[in-house]
Structure 1
Amino acid sequence: MDVTTILLLLLVGALITYFSGDKLASKVALIFSLGALGVALTLLSAYSQGTDIGFMAQWIDMPKVALAFKADGLSMAMVLLTTALTPLIILSSFGNQFNNSKNFYALVLFMSFAMTGTFLAADGLLYYIFWELALIPIYFIALIWGNGDAEERKKAVLKFFIYTLGGSLFMLIAFAYLYSKANSFLLEDLYKLNLSATEQGYIFFAFFLAYAIKIPIIPFHTWQAKVYQKAPTVGTMLLSGIMLKMGLYSVIRWQLPIAPSAAKTYMPLLIGLSIAGVIYGSIVALRQKDLKKLLAYSSLAHVGLIAAGCYTLTLDGLSGAVSQMIAHGFVIVGLFFAAEIIYRRYETHTIADMGGIRSQTPKFSSLFMILVLASVALPGTFNFVGEFTVLYSLSQVNIWFVVLGGTTIILGAYYMLKMFQNTMLGETNTKAFADVTANEAITLGVIIAFLLFFGLYPKPIVDLVTPTLKDILETINR
């Protein structure tokens, strides 16, 4: 068994979900997503014992394109993030009713398939195909099942689609040029190229456009808040929890090792842009009256810090960035789900229309509070591990980077705790707030358990990714 088993299971699951009909679609999708998680954990066990779980086969002779899937610590960490969050996201949707639910859940599994393929692909063209495939299902999920005014939703989703597709075309041009130099799309062959400083500069920024839009990094962020707000919560979870990690992962896997000279040259600029996103996202979040938009800008601030860690080109920076990617994936999915639970009771995302929830359901408010504290990187949560490591790496580059980047902790604590106060405390809303259901409690409980366990014992994840990150740094510094 190798990593293609996960891909086949998710793809077959999407097809069977579609043909299972609307009544069974959600349950079938959950079963296949749990199956994919089980396979991923089995493969992780085999990988940790030294078994090669990658896959390589020639696909197209001209140009030379291989079905190459690389299984190392970094890719397996991201595959586990994807396969762990997908069933949680599907389970979280059980309290919603979707028209043509067989289409909806089939698209969710297909998107998980495409994102998993992106994390595993070790051939440039294959990677690009999976990268673009992931865009198609989220486009339809947000467009068809989104909320709010239909015209506004169409504009927001179309802008997102054009932005991301346009940025990706520059990446495709970069791969075409790299192929002309290496006569191969294989990752290991592209690593071996001896490109001039000028060539590296062009390649670096061609990749940067694709990744900066996907993450997003200032000033390529303008699509994000509207799409997060207008998409159904399942779509927002997929975008914020997993899809944006494709850009961050790709910075480490593709951009930095292929154009290391450019990465070192433009390091201050890129860290500066990333930290600008931290400050901008935090300040704008302070002014938000819509809960989903507040969480969207909070996410922008946090991923800006992760990107800054990637561009430090240090082991601490890369390790902290990967840890924070995983922690952020779980906490942001939990927070958006908490917002969805409130919406199911009050049918609003407006913070001013909430209040007094804690007096009606202490259980939900306690779970929500833990997620808020994890989001602001309270010691003992996994977010603290990643955020502290990234800030430490920034201090190794320039002390002012860590001073400015640290604003995410101060401002984040302020706007998140203020949000909690306005939604959970204060005057009780006249509308009754039902207690969390079993599905809701299980979803939130699993997320919180993960964040607390790895907050106290992050060693398994750090040990998993560190050897791969060391190899990537050796390639960068060769």
Structure 2
Amino acid sequence: MNVSLILIILLVGAFATFLAGDKLASKVALFFSLAAAGASIVLLNHYNLGENISFINQWITQPNISFALKADGLSMAMLLLTTVLTPIIIFSSFGNQYKNSKSFYALILFMAFAMAGTFLASDGLLYYIFWELSLIPIYFIALVWGNGDAEERKKAVVKFFIYTLAGSLFMLVAFVYLYQKAGSFLIEDLYKLNLSAAEQLWVFLAFFLAYAIKIPLIPFHTWQANVYQKAPTVGTMLLSGIMLKMGLYSVIRWQLPLAPLAAKEYMYIFIGLGIAGVIYGSIVALKQKDLKKLLAYSSLAHVGLIAAGSYTLTLDGLRGAVLQMIAHGFVVVGLFYTAEIIFRRYETRVLAEMGGIRARTPKFTSLFLILVVASVALPSTFNFVGEFTVLYSLSQINIWFAILGGTTIILGAYYMLKMFQQAMLGETNTRIFTDVTSNEGITLILIIAVLFFFGMYPKPIIDLITPSLEEILIQINRIN
């Protein structure tokens, strides 16, 4: 099977959605997103049968740039995250009305196309192009269809765009330098380079700026909470559920293997930055009065732990990081969706203006509570598998890293349960709050099913990603 078919489906789907008009746009977008998800599952089957899932074609002769795509286990896992979450996110939006909906849904599919291309690209410049392309749709989604004051929204979105674009330029400079050394942008050629310790340090830092802003890691996180709050919930889901995983994936795929000496030399610093994000995000989340902002800082804490696991340079750390990426993708989409369900009924995201929902909506309360306990890594949920593996890897480096990293569980349980109490319990609110509709219920049940299935049986994902991570570790540990 040609791996480029998935990208073609998403790109054609974006154009077809736009041409379908406002009335049919959401349904056409859902159809093409489901087609891409189905194609990804077929591709996974071919990969499991041992087929070489790659596509390469000479694109530009001088400089030597190839349209090169390759799917190994790591890429397949991230591709599946993208193509499975995209139709869930689109379906979750059916309860809202959007002006110029043909453009809105077309941008969602185009963003999915760019993110999938980032995970599949095996040519450095092609990867960079997909990386930058993903910025365009989310910029317009947040700017045009976002929430709150238009001027404040514009400031938040422009800051996000400038930050991420500026960081990416450093990555482009690093790729140009690597091309001059290798004569190629292909990842296998770049992996063969024997750079000096000084060269690796500069390459490592150039990539780090791009990835730290995208993830984000402190102190590069200042754009995140405002954009998550101002963007429409669909945009927030795309950002938190998939887009930030581009940075975490790229740390493992590009940064660590290309600059292993720098990664080993400064390991403790970058693990420390990740853990600092855990503590900072959790403490700030405790003080939030806006539900979306609380979830944004909660996400900051979780991705800090994922980054810390990646920088341990151990198989357990890398494996736990990838497992947690996928688990976090599903649970954070579910949590932001519950915030949207409340907003549809109460037209507020302020926790103090909620309360008493449990007495009116037992189904929604139960689904919301399950997502809350999944977020705090209750055993038997997918998040527990990822977080436990990451914390175990941190303990192998230094037990204090594991202890400090574990605060995400303790503090997370406190602020998430406190949030649940404020939003759902207490005196019955006088405003009407109807229970979940069939569409809302299906969306939440699908997400919860994934979290519990892989929480009890993570073996398929572990078997999928482990060989690729072992190859990356061989590259990291090669003699320079």
TM-score, structure 1 as length reference: 1.00
Matches within 5 A, 1:178-257: 178-257=178-257
Distance 2:98 2:191 in 1: 45
Q: Is residue 17 of structure 2 the alignment partner of residue 17 of structure 1? A: yes
Q: 1:429, 1:118 → 2: CA distance?
A: 46
Q: CA deviation at 1:192?
A: 0.4
What letter is aligned with 2:330? F
Which residue does 2:417 correspond to in 1?
417
> Alpha-carbon deviations, 1:395-418, whole Å to 9, x = none?
000111011101000000000000
| Aligned mates of 2:373, 2:428 — CA distance in 1 | 23
Superposed displacement of residue 435, structure 1: 1.1
Q: Distance in 1 between matches of 2:156 and 2:325?
A: 25
Q: Does 1:44 align with 2:56?
A: no
Q: Distance in 1 between matches of 2:2 and 2:240?
A: 28
State the one-letter code of the partner of 2:17. T
SS at match of 1:97: coil
In structure 1, how many angstroms separate the alpha carbons of the residues matched to 2:54 and 2:124?
A: 16
| Distance of 2:274 and 2:323 partners within structure 1 | 17
Alpha-carbon distance, 1:318 to partner: 0.2
3-state SS of paired residue (1:358): coil
Superposed CA offset, 1:118-138 (max 9, x none): 000000000000000000000
Q: Which residue of 2 aligns with 1:111?
A: 111
State the SS of the aligned residue for 2:426. Answer: coil
User: How far apart, in 2, do the equivalents of 1:163 and 1:2 lie?
Assistant: 35
Q: CA offsets per residue over residues 209-250 of structure 1, 9 Å max, x none?
A: 000000000100000000000000000000000000000000
Corresponding residue number in structure 2 for 1:450: 450
Distance 1:466 1:442 in 2: 32
Q: Matches of 1:70 and 1:384 in 2, distance apart?
A: 30
How far is 1:321 from its partner?
0.2
Query: What's the % identity of the aligned pairs?
Result: 78
What is the correspondence of 1:51-450 to structure 2 with a 5 Å cutoff?
Answer: 51-450=51-450
- Cα distance, 1:456 vs. partner? 0.2
Shift of 1:75: 0.1
2: CA distance, partners of 1:39 / 1:96: 28
Whole-angstrom CA distance in 1 between matches of 2:378 and 2:242: 22
Aligned residue for 2:59, secondary structure, equals strand
SS at match of 2:84: helix
Question: Distance in 1 between the 2:140 and 2:432 partners?
Answer: 34
Write the letter of the residue equivalent to 1:390.
V
- Quote the Cα distance in structure 2 between the aligned partners of 1:157 and 1:3: 33
Matches of 1:358 and 1:43 in 2, distance apart? 43
Letter in 1 for 2:75: S
Q: CA deviation at 1:53?
A: 2.0
State the match for 1:2 in structure 2. 2
1:427 Cα shift? 1.0
Aligned equivalents of 2:258, 2:273: Cα separation in 1: 21
Cα distance in 2 between the residues matched to 1:442 and 1:178: 48
CA distance in structure 2 between the partners assigned to 1:461 and 1:257 by the alignment: 22
Give the structure-2-normalised TM-score: 0.99
Q: Partners in 1 of 2:417 and 2:212 — Cα distance?
A: 29
Cα distance in 2 between the residues matched to 1:10 and 1:392: 38
Report the more deviating stretch, 53-62 or 159-168.
53-62
Distance 1:34 1:145 in 2: 24
Give the structure 1 partner of residue 475 of structure 2. 475
2:358 alignment partner, SS class:
helix
- Measure, in 2, the Cα distance between the counterparts of 1:145 and 1:370: 30
What residue ranges of structure 1 are gaps of 5+ in the alignment?
Answer: none
2:134, 2:71 → 1: CA distance?
Answer: 20
Superimposed CA distance per residue, residues 331-386 of structure 1 (whole angstroms, 9 cap, x where no aligned partner) = 00000000000000000000000011111010000000000000000000000000
**What is the alpha-carbon distance in structure 1 between the residues aligned to residue 394 and residue 104 of structure 2?**
42
Q: Which amino acid aligns with 1:399?
A: I
Helix, strand or coil at the partner of 1:126: helix
How far apart are residue 429 of structure 1 and its match? 1.0
Aligned-partner residue type, residue 169 of structure 1: L
Counterparts of 2:358 and 2:124, CA distance in 1: 51
Distance 2:427 2:340 in 1: 21
Q: CA deviation at 1:54?
A: 1.2
Q: Provide the rounded CA distance (Å) in 1 between the counterparts of 2:303 and 2:382.
A: 15
1:283-315 C-alpha deviation (Å, 9 max, x unpaired): 000000000000000000000000000000000
SS in 2 for 1:32: helix
Aligned pair count?
Answer: 478
Report the AA paired with residue 297 of structure 2.
Answer: Y
Alpha-carbon distance in structure 2 between the residues aligned to 1:130 and 1:326: 20
Runs of 4+ in 1 over 2 A off after TM superposition: none
CA distance in 2, matches of 1:80, 1:368: 25
2:428 partner amino acid? T
Instruction: Give, in angstroms, the shift of residue 460 of structure 1.
Output: 0.2
SS at match of 2:97: coil
- Aligned equivalents of 2:183, 2:269: Cα separation in 1: 32
Whole-Å separation in 1 of the counterparts to 2:341 and 2:466: 37
The separation in 1 between residues aligned to 2:356 and 2:455, in whole angstroms, is: 30
| CA apart distance, 1:166 | 0.1
One-letter identity of the residue aligned with 1:78: M
Q: Quote how far apart the aligned CAs of 1:52 are.
A: 1.6
For 2:430, the aligned partner's letter is: T
Please give the secondary structure, in 1, of the residue aligned with 2:359: helix
